[in-house]
Chain A
Amino acid sequence: MTSHWSCGRIAHLLLWCGLAAALLMVSIPKIYSGVTEYRLRPGGALHTTDSYLKFATGREGVSKNLISMFDSMPMSKPIVIFIRRGDAFSSGLGMTTAYLASPHAVRLCEIDGTHPDNELYRINPDKVAAVVLCRLNRPSWLPAGKVFGPGLEIVSIGEKG
């Protein structure tokens, strides 16, 4: 070996080639499974919220229905969204609904248990456009609302016009 290929240089080369090879060996299976896990689907304007809501409610194209439903409600009144404390699905559903409810003001109410009876009693129906129940049971005294799958029900309180 000449000084151009000294022991130190060879060790340096081996070390970094080894590290690069090890990095690739560990990474490639993970990245391969990540890349091949899902297939390409046509994407729409509400591509992400539709996927979230399909996951939560089992229904396709729910976002558009929710937007048109909220549009039919008086804009001056807020939407009250009930979610369940400690239930990630419920709060995710509530936040996605709040996202779609714009430009309405929203109130997110987190409750313990699955029956929001006490909280609903306290609401003045004249001051609310709708009540949204995310993975919660509607009390029997509250009129039935529009149901989007098993986890989401929207009870319209006062229609526009």
Chain B
Amino acid sequence: MNALGLFGAFATLFAAGYGLLVLLIHRSARLSLAEQIAFSWLFGTGAVSLLLWAFGFFADGLLLQGLVSFVCISLGMVGWNLKKPSQIRSKARWFEVVLTPVIAIEIAIVFYLSFVHTLGWDGLLNWEIKARYAFANGGVLPAAYFSDTGRAFSHPEYPLAIPFTELWLYLWLGEPNQFCAKTIFPAFYVAGTFLVAAFTARLSRRTWLGLLMAALLFFVPQITVEVGCASAGYADFPLSVFYLAAAGCLFCASERGNDVFFRLYAACLALLPWVKRDGLILWIVAAACGVFVILWRRKSPLSLVAFLPGIVIICAWRLYLNAMHALQAVDFLPFNLETFRTHVDRATPLLSALLAEFCNLPTWSLFWFIVAVAFLYALPRMRDPGVVALLLALIAPIVLYLSLYLFSSWPNYLDHVGLSISRLLMQVTPVGFLLIALAISRRPERRPQRVQMPNRATCAIARSERTAVVELA
């Protein structure tokens, strides 16, 4: 029964996501199967959680589940009717043949880990708690929960993408189930792996490098086995996958006329603040990178509409919290110049803590050292707006997160840093892999009209799929 319920929940999630993906690309691009699966999962979780929240204003129980299921199935049918065949590679190299089962084994291990371990502390008491309480109240979070001081520890103000995806599973299972709720987190790992592989292959024009980067993602202990890892039930890894999708799409969209990836970027961008409160910072950074690309490439001013969905989600959630009289978090002091001036002396210890974290081998292995090498490689290529956007997307969130600790209200702000910095850094880790791939590939500055490898998926190919070269591919 549980398996059937899980199948129904996952099928409707993928159907909704696939329909949205096809509507966004609108016959103008061909994505690989891995990209379709990854984007379908991301858009599916985003859409279903938003629909559950929006329809929850006027429906609950079976009606709510039925309405959301109807929309999911409708989107899936629309997507199926508009679909285009996936890109099919003609022949794989031996290295790719070796790497594919390695990645499959890694994914199997992440699934295994997610079932071996319980939900992490935040996974249970910040995220799953909302799914459980909403399920017990017919699929809608009880209004009393938002102002319940006894449960303020569970951060009622956190957004609902992750808990309402868990809720969707519960509605199909017919009961809240902490064990089954964990299944969504390895699915995010799968999406992250597929996107690292796909974006790397696009930006380096080498499929083997994409597979290699995807395989190496597993070897960052913070992602695999550390506290707050991909299988722990925390929102940080899912957020990192959404951020990777936004940054990767923006890199592809930085090529002239590549509007398909700009639309995908806009969709991923909008969902960032819906996954976690920190997603607002990632949204700001990714939006700033988007503005940079729009200006550099002299895209139409209409491109700025891409930021509207995210702004709507941010404002709608803020209004909802105000209407519910939700308790506000007390982790930070008021963000003003006076607080900044009195706490600026924290800057040096914070920098030391960050450096210590970068050098924390049990948590990060050599990942940040390799990123530093890749950063040096990227410096001579600063004329490429995609590279600049990628560097900004990696560095700006780290700087902003570190600055936030200046405003920490914890008695010992370094405890606050120690408890959360590894998870915050994990949010930009997959983007770091794109930078490493760029350095390894030593890709020359892009000339979009010169597509040299017709059997490889690149951003340039995806831009204009109707060319003879791509029809051949």
Contacts and interface: CB of A to CB of B under 8 A. Distances in A.
B124 A31 contact: no
B331 to A, nearest CB: 16
Interface in A93-148: 95-96, 98-99, 102-103, 105-108
Contacts of A22: 366
B132 interface: yes
Contact of A31 (B112, B144, B225): B225
Contacts of B216: 20, 23
B362 A30 contact: yes
Contacts of B179: 43-45, 47-48
A14 interface: no
Given A23-B365, A99-B124, A35 B113 contact: yes
Contact of B365 (A27, A33, A35, A103): A27
A7 interface: no
A15 B113 CA distance: 32
Contacts of A103: 133, 136-137, 142
A81 B221 CA distance: 37
B117 A38 contact: yes
B49 to A, nearest CB: 21
Interface residues of B, number: 52
A107 to B, nearest CB: 5
A96 B149 CA distance: 15
A160 interface: no
B422 to A, nearest CB: 14
A57 interface: no
A68 B226 CA distance: 35
Contact of B125 (A27, A41, A99): A99
Contacts of A33: 225
Nearest to B117: A38
A31 B153 contact: no
Contacts of B369: 19
Contacts of B149: 107-108
Interface string B165-191: 000000000011111100000000000
A95 B113 contact: no
Interface string A1-41: 00000000000100110011011101110110111001111
Contacts of A24: 219
B356 interface: no
Contact of B219 (A15, A23, A45, A108): A23
Interface in B348-381: 361-362, 365-367, 369-370, 373
A22 B176 CA distance: 43
Contact of A99 (B115, B129, B137): B129
A44 B177 CA distance: 7
Given A23-B367, A95-B125, A105 B148 contact: yes
Given A12-B442, A108-B150, A51 B142 contact: no
A133 to B, nearest CB: 16
Given A40-B116, A103-B142, A15 B150 contact: no
B26 interface: no
Contacts of B133: 102-103
B109 interface: yes
Interface of A: 12, 15-16, 19-20, 22-24, 26-28, 30-31, 33-35, 38-41, 43-49, 51-52, 78, 81, 92, 95-96, 98-99, 102-103, 105-108
Most buried by A among B175, B218, B366, B370: B366
B370 A47 contact: no
B440 interface: yes
B245 interface: no
A106 B142 CA distance: 14
B365 A45 contact: no
A92 B118 CA distance: 15
A16 B176 CA distance: 47
Contacts of A52: 118, 124
Interface in B418-448: 439-440, 442
B229 to A, nearest CB: 8
Given A30-B365, A44-B179, A106-B151, A51 B118 contact: yes
Nearest to B119: A48
B178 A39 contact: no
Contact of B221 (A20, A31, A44, A105): A31
Interface in B254-286: none
Interface in B207-255: 212, 216, 218-221, 224-226
B150 A19 contact: no
A34 B151 contact: no
Nearest to A9: B442
A45 B175 contact: yes
Contacts of B362: 30
A52 B178 CA distance: 12
A107 B116 CA distance: 33
A33 B125 CA distance: 27
A78 B150 contact: yes
Contact of B373 (A19, A44, A48): A19
Given A31-B221, A95-B125, 20 more contacts: A19-B373, A23-B219, A23-B365, A26-B361, A27-B219, A27-B365, A31-B219, A34-B225, A40-B112, A44-B178, A47-B118, A47-B177, A48-B118, A48-B128, A49-B178, A98-B150, A99-B132, A103-B142, A105-B150, A108-B149
A27 B215 CA distance: 13
3 pairs of A and B residues whose beta carbons are closest in the complex: A34-B225, A43-B179, A106-B150
A105 B144 contact: yes
A45 B178 contact: yes
A103 B175 CA distance: 16
Contacts of B129: 99
Contacts of B176: 45
